[in-house]
Structure 1
Amino acid sequence: MKEAIKIGLLGSGTVGSGVVRVLRENMEEITARVGTRLVLAKVLVRDAKKPRPYLDGIELTTRVEDILEDEEISVVVEVMGGIHPAKEYMLRAMEAGKSVVTANKDVVAEFGHELFDMAEAHGVDFRFEASVGGGIPIILPLKQCLTANRISEVLGIVNGTTNYMLTKMSDEGMSYDAVLKEAQEKGYAEANPSADVDGLDAARKAAILASIAFNMRINLADVSVEGITKITPEDIAYAKNLGYVVKLLAIGKETEDGANVRVHPVFLPKEHPLASVNGVYNAIFVRGNAIGEAMFYGPGAGSLPTASAVVADIIDVSRDIVHHAFGRVNCTCYREKHLCPLEKTRSSYYVRLLVEDKPGVLGAIATAFGNADVSLQSVIQTQRDAEEHAEIVAITHTVPHANILAALGVLKALPVVSEVRNLIRVETDQIDRG
């Protein structure tokens, strides 16, 4: 047994500082759980002369080679963020026989196959629990605890920024622009918020979750993505009146036509477990044929919650080193990828139209939907405005996406339709209450 397992840390920012703190504060328990002592040997920083009290006693370096070429370091922890050079550093670490732990969703979503192949080729571990859901345990549960199941569905609120924004819009009636400004002032949203509000951050996490849930390699390019930029207070109000809340969901479903992986806003029934997940919190809902339904909930970001997941991976990797049991839960993508085309995906839809307020309009709209084989579940018409227009809100039954697109094409061409104001999917799956 090794007298100690030495760790190299790439990055000392928000997550890196949390990793150092968790290792130091919980070292006695961690040592007992691993069966040997863990030593944070070196940390890669941009400026080794910058005062960092939390790194006192630890060797700092600006040269990644000092970690990657150190034969005594067995585990490399990447918390730098970004794709390059993080990806290259992780590949080089594994090529040198070192196990790798990362929180980097960008690299895992786009280049996971390269990292898994390298880990397998060199007999080391590759762990990434913190890449989805911050401190929420979801990767290992899907790989181990739920592995007896055939997972049919995974739904996730996996972006705290957009969930915070939609919560504020719902609770306080704020506009998109106003709530985005507030989120930026509070530090929840970046100056350039596109990764969050356009759904790209959630899409990367959707690709990771779906790959594990369905045991096939889902790439970022396989995910259909739509953000929240078109959501208005009016949409939020209609959702409330109809018994829904609006959430941005990462969705993975197994269908007869293949795996269906997407990110977009949905009208979610108020009784759904995810409907009550508010603010910056994250949650992932899983449906399996044995367990039924399960939900994982908690903080989706932050220094210590994310560090909790990173250090848990460090502990797991270190146990594998102690027991010489590498690769137990590395790549689990053994199935050939078969994706459902977007046009074949099925959903119920909320459609909001601005129309002329005169006789025959409802009939013309109903005919347009009917000609596209879209049946309507309900229709609401609001009072007319000063320009003699009215809003019509329709909720459809479940139809293929191609049908709703065909209906919209006809509606936009109708002289009585001034504008198609929004189209949002409605989540209609029934929840088993036991």
Structure 2
Amino acid sequence: MQIGLLGFGTVGRGVYEIIAGREDIAIARVLCRRDLELPDAAVTHNFEDILNDPKIDTVVEAIGGLHPAYEYVRSAILAGKNVATANKALIATCFDELIPLAREKGVFLRCTASVGGGIGWLSELERARRIETIHHVGGIMNGTCNYILDSMTRLKLGYSEALKQAQALGYAEADPTTDVEGIDTWHKLIVSANIGFGVSLDISEVPAAGISRIGAEDVANFSANGLVCKLVSTADCLSGNYSAYVQPTLYPLGQPEAAVPANYNLITLEGNISGRQSFFGQGAGRYPTAYNVVQDCVDFLHGKGFYTAPGRKVAIDNSVKLRYYVRTAQEDLWLKENTEKHWAGAVVTKPVEVSVMHQWLKAHPDAFMAAFA
């Protein structure tokens, strides 16, 4: 296998280092903005050099984001090249287009590293779905947020200090918005649910709330009540109805989710035969993510393509009711009517619909909320 590697950042460099010295896979060209010299691969600033190289049969996309990643991946597929990517935003957004296109062109497309870093979650989801019906997927899917929340809980750091530590360790980007606002987790949930349920979620109906508004007073409240806050994704398929959302969630001490440390992930599926299965591992970092990119390339050598064809487009019904912890400077009439009790500068709501709670949060940019698991 001859690979054209797009990007030489954290993941791209990891892919290059893992593949170095293998006899069955080689990196022929690397697309990189920087001037770079590599002993065993040509470096180019022009994607066309990779696209038009007949020796390159596989493209590894490690640049992230939607553009120009989308244009590069689509062009590679049209040119008859396999694609391995860690780009969850690309797969979540273009799921319905790229997978059928790859099938039409007779090439392989895989994205195992896009969810769960080094866990191999999507591969396990694929195996489970071969013999059972999956009715739940979700969990802790973002190592950056988990590191921040874990540091605030265990080390009593403030949000800003915990974020700076995550950035210093390479777990968080200079602009952490995608992680801390739940967008990264949102993309991962959509990819997971589509593969696990064999459908195509209407992504415009899947709400996401992040952790950027959490404060030390919230963590103190949680600790005083034996609770730990995690950013959690949830997707369920029950009796033909689909729900999906991302939000901070409170777990009692002793629950597996409450104990997930540092930048680790804990992702769960529930099926009608196997019951509950949870997968634990590092969800961020060069080598965990690059590991599964290379695994996808090895799968190509064995003739293994994408996990499942896109299913029918389905609507989301987030009418499930949960209790929420809410801290806000201004309690409006709706919140007062739905308050069950006050809790040290915050309130605990009566059970309210997930969709309604997320709509309320959008209208209150000062507020922080977390659901009770």
TM-score by length of structure 1 reads 0.77
Change (3 A) 1:46 1:331: same
Correspondence for 1:132: 115
The 5 A counterparts of 1:26-425 are 27=22, 37-47=24-34, 49-51=35-37, 55-218=38-201, 220-256=203-239, 258-320=241-303, 327=305, 329-340=306-317, 342=318, 344-351=319-326, 368-369=337-338, 376=340, 379=341, 391=345, 393-394=347-348, 396=350, 398-401=351-354, 422-425=368-371
Letter in 2 for 1:394: V
Q: Deviations for 1:44-89, whole angstroms, at most 9, x for unmatched residues?
A: 2224x533xxx31222222222221222222111112222121111
Task: Assess, with a 3 A threshold, how the Cα gap between structure 1 residues 263 and 402 changes in structure 2: closer, same or farther.
Answer: closer
Displacement after TM superposition at 1:351 (Å) = 4.2
In 1: Cα distance, 2:212 partner to 2:16 partner = 37
Identify the residue that residue 386 of structure 1 maps to in structure 2: none
Cα distance change of structure 1 residues 198 and 352 upon mapping to structure 2, 3 Å threshold: closer
SS in structure 2 of the partner of residue 350 of structure 1: strand
Deviations 1:299-355 (A, max 9, x none): 1121111111000000001111xxxxx64x344332441311x4x132122345789
Q: Which amino acid aligns with 1:179?
A: A
Q: Deviations over 1:165-186 (max 9, x none)?
A: 1111111322223323333344
Partner-residue secondary structure (3-state), 1:56: coil
Give the structure with higher Rg (CA): 1
Higher relative CO (Cα under 8 Å, sequence separation at least 6) belongs to 2
In structure 2, how many angstroms separate the alpha carbons of the residues matched to 1:61 and 1:67?
A: 8
Structure 1 counterpart of 2:371, which letter? R
CA displacement at 1:276 relative to structure 2 = 1.0
Q: Which has the larger displacement, 237-246 or 79-88? A: 237-246
Q: Name the CA distance, whole Å, in 1 between partners of 2:287 and 2:278.
A: 22
Q: 1:16 to 1:191 in 2, by over 3 A?
A: closer
Could you tell me how far apart the structure 2 residues matched to 1:236 and 1:332 are? 42
| Structure 2 unaligned residues grouped into runs of 5+ | none
Aligned length: 369
Name stretches of at least 5 consecutive residues in structure 1 with no aligned partner: 32-36, 321-325, 357-363, 383-390, 413-419, 428-434
Q: Give deviations 1:220-277, integer Å, cap 9, x for gaps.
A: 4332011112222222222223332100112212245722111110112323322211
For residues 381 and 112 of structure 1, do their structure 2 counterparts lie closer, same or farther at Cα, with a shift above 3 Å needed? closer
The letter for the 1-side match of 2:142 is N
**Contact 1:125/1:330 (CA < 8 Å) preserved in 2?**
no
